[in-house]
Chain A
Amino acid sequence: MKKLLSAALAATMLTSFVQAAEVKIGFVTTLTTGGAVIGKDQEKAVNLAIEHMGGKMGDLDVNLIFADDGFKPETGKQVTDKLVKQDNVDIVAGYIWSNVLLASRKSVLDAGKFLITTNAGPGPVAGKLCHENFFSASWQNDETPMAMGEVLNQKGVKSIYIIAPNYAAGKGMVAGVKRTFKGAILGTDMTTWPTQLDFSAELAKAKASGAEGLFIFYPGKAGGAFMKQYQQAGLKDSLPLYTTFTVDALSLPKFQAAEFTDVLGSQFTQQWDPTIDNEQNKRFVADFRAKHGSYPSFYAAQAYDSMFLIKSAVEAVGGDLTDMDSMRAAMESASYPSVRGEYTYGNNHMPIQAYYLREVVKDDDGNWTTKIVQTVYEAHQDIYAKDCPLK
């Protein structure tokens, strides 16, 4: 045991006494378990962003530390604590899962550091738990399904059935779609997350309910499993599927390999798409594809953006990271080039941005990807902003 302790001690010494002119960023994501698909994509995007910056933000070298949350809130909090207390990072970014973010946020904010979420956006952090040092490079959970609710209204869907996982984001998604959808909701099934992957019982119920549409939210591998079973159940015509965060650039190549053609033409809402026309996005998508051979996912896009958001803050203070007020002001202005195009920040530091309807199509090479069909919201603000005491 003593040996181990001294080894640990030695490791500590190595990391903490090297202090150069650098900005130290901790990035918490999922690198093990099935959730690692998403984490890996974010890792690729972050590394690409740093590469595009030439390894520097202003005059400072970028020192990136990736940490694995193991898909668990408790582990997420532990690695966050380590980043803050041991590695003494300047900024913590990342967080895919809402429950991990909720568990970890206090560790970062109490230590007086910036926290930038690259995916998770549970209601409380946008509302009563909002914080001056917290920024989102993604969205608030309810917004994307709210956009989907609008789409359903426009399409004249009279009734839907909802199936979603039973955790923070799942509940947020359900709340979101219920808020804007004007038709009848014939049933809601919340499934055990993340273990349940067989949805036979829920699909049978949804079918029996006689709803006109089925709304689901299954990020990661559960999404693939759900889509597959939806196809096997043969519900495409009788119960059209409307999804959020379920079909993405990570699952599409798998679907294509498995020749799962039902996915082609399916639609979902999002704040970003690889076809959005701006310089930053073109470069990001092209270089990402060149390097990794696949389209980046929206998770990757958000992670990529987060690095440029941080860069804008570091450059605004000329590398003086102690000037947090100016850094905060720089980020609030959202003046960096975002791959999603221009957006602004609300008082709660959540983006006020456009939401699009995306559709799965084949690209020129025959690869499955998405394109934008319509703009659902031009500039949408989340509904929790009013609960946030920040001005």
Chain B
Amino acid sequence: MNELANNALANSFAFNNAWLIPALPFFSFLLVGLFIRPYSEKLAGIVATLSVSTSAALSLWLAFDYFSAFPAGAEHPALVSWSFQWLRYNEYLVVNVGTLIDSLSILLMVVVTFVSSLVHLYSIGYMKGEDGYGRYFTYLNLFTFSMLGLVVAPNILQTYIFWELVGVSSFLLIGFYYTKPSAVAASKKAFIVTRFADLFFLVGILLIAVVGYNLMSLFGVPNGLPENVSAFDFAFITNSGVSTMMNNFGILTPALILIFIGAAGKSALFPLHIWLPDAMEGPTPVSALIHAATMVVAGVYLVARLFVTFAASESALLVAAYLGAFTCIFAAIIACTQNDIKRVLAYSTLSQIGYMMFALGVASATETLGYTASLFHLFTHAFFKALLFLGAGAVIHSVHTNNIWNMGGLAKKMPITNITFLIATLAISGVWPFAGFFSKDEIIAAAFGNHHYVIFAIGLLVAGITAFYMFRIYIVTFLGKARSEAVDHAHEAPMTMTIPLMILAALTAVVGFIHFGDYVSVASIITGDATGHAEGGFPIWIPALLSGLTGIGIAWFMYGGEKDRATAVTEKLGVIYRVICAKFYIDEIYQFITHKIIIRFISTPIAWFDKRIVDGGVDLTGWLTRRSGATLSHLQTGQTQTYAAWLINGVIAVVVIIWLYAS
């Protein structure tokens, strides 16, 4: 790392107090939450938005400084700009809370702050008139703070801490309309499912930390690491010497799988995805921010952060790949049958995250293209998915219903929303000029490059299905004739809502052309250089684009014309359609497991057992003493002569006992 770059960065304002980026939302959270909220709601909104936008500007500045110090293509070091010792378990297990700056964290910081400030702006309009307006912005700021804290964490325990805080703020935001029982249930479900996954994450951390601690206490600090490194620090965990040693201890793969389950829980991969669709109960900007751009990608970020260790263990990445691919295809199929606009977008998010996860999964120590592709897709997806959600929000805001079948013909009524929604739909379907095309194409290329042909095929298929269900909802909501009278007095969203839409639309158009590989990539162990772009070979983008276009065609064919051919097709599918529509009854299975088994067969018997047996035992002793007291009291017969007998036999008894004892 050359000196010039280092000192150029050393005196850059942004780098030195990078801690301001997460700190600003935190201070505004405290300020708004405690003081401003009770007094004026409007001011709360403004202050919240201002703080997040300043930290967005700061992170842009930091990105500029960083990449000017380490130009594209060069090696991007991970620098801890500021940290202090928060908690000291013992001398090898120390938690230094601080900010770690490298290309990955800058990418996430930019995305999070940018989308969050847009959502804040959008919410000022969307939430006007709702009660708890101030409370909403406080939660939003808390969320942004915890997300940023998670992203800049230099050690895995700080990640876990902010991981939990993100979970709590999502719980608060989902349950914002707490008078609605369904919102309360959804927030509870979200928190408990993520908490369940965090359990595995915590056990994973403990396992790695303790083994690391044992290694360090036996062999000392591995060379090349600073003296006061702790077993929690990413530098220690991702250190190649350490991971090989852990591997031949045989605990690396189980630990990483545990951590991956934690990531899967937060990013709603297959078995733990049930909470995301229900999370739509929260206000739409929340879904846009949390369930599109930021929180759900935390899992991807974590796997990316530990990519080197994951690559060191053979099977961990494979698990990620196959689970990602399955979620991708599974969610896409369900998305085609949903009628609630936000549910469709939720399932589409699930499938896109499946994309990112299996992109990481297909990458390996040698072939690191997948890593770049996944992060590129994360970057682009954040923008167009946020746009889709905000667009849907605008639609719902004016039509006051989520069901796409009583919308229709909104294009004329809401021109800006229509255009921006169209751009986003094209982007996600992978049509050429928009961002989705480039990132999705790169993922498919990476899958093909690493000879994962099955996953490659799934990728292609899902690209088509995505295009199909996206255009299905576009056509049904915006084109065709109005299906309910609510549509008549629909009106264009106010300025504060349309500006973010337009900005996002512009971004989705432009961002595809960035040579992402030069900025965000990880050096492959063998070649040493980062393979940013899929070189030469068969141009993968052609089949990808073709499947996208066929998807659009089918959608147009089924929903475009007057005759609704769609219902015909669904009858033919019959029972299959009903199963997909009911989301494969996964929710009912969970419901059965949690309520029936846990409540009925575990906690009730325990509560009963506690009341009857353990409590009974105590009462039994009480009863026993009283009973023996009563029987003994009957010895006092009142007859003087029996008393005399007692006395004499007492003497005889004592003599006999002494005699027995003496002999």
Does A associate with B in a complex?
Answer: no
Identify the A interface with B (CB < 8 A). Answer: none
